[in-house]
Amino acid sequence: MIKSRKQIPGDKIKTRQTILDHRLSRLDGQVQALRRMVGKGDDWKKMLTLAAAIEGAADQVSADLFRGYLESLQVDETVAAKAREGLELVLKRC
């Protein structure tokens, strides 16, 4: 039996999409800046600092995606299992 997903109000989806779009744009800008720094042979400490910022930004995108995933789940006895599955996907890269 296929369970339907919980309906999320359109405004909430649009807000989540807007937030993710902003985060991804910021992340893209940081990656481009790091590429320029590497190309110029910039200071290693500055590049490492920016790399750490990129990692943090990517983690935040993953967390926002995970929140969206959790919001899309139908609330029932399988929520915990589905949440663990999503969390494992997020943490798999670590």
Measured between alpha carbons, how far is 39 from 46 in angstroms, rounded to an integer? 13
Distance of CA 42 to the CA centre of its chain: 28
Break the chain into its structural domains and give their ranges: 10-91
Q: Does residue 6 register a pLDDT over 50?
A: no
Is the pTM higher than 0.75?
no
Is the CB of residue 76 less than 8 Å from the CB of residue 5? Answer: no
Measured between alpha carbons, how far is 50 from 10 in angstroms, rounded to an integer? 35
Looking at domain 10-91, which CATH architecture does it have?
Up-down Bundle (1.20)
Q: What is the pLDDT of residues 38-89, one digit of tens each?
A: 999 999 999 999 999 999 999 889 888 887 877 777 666 577 677 778 777 7
SS3 8: coil
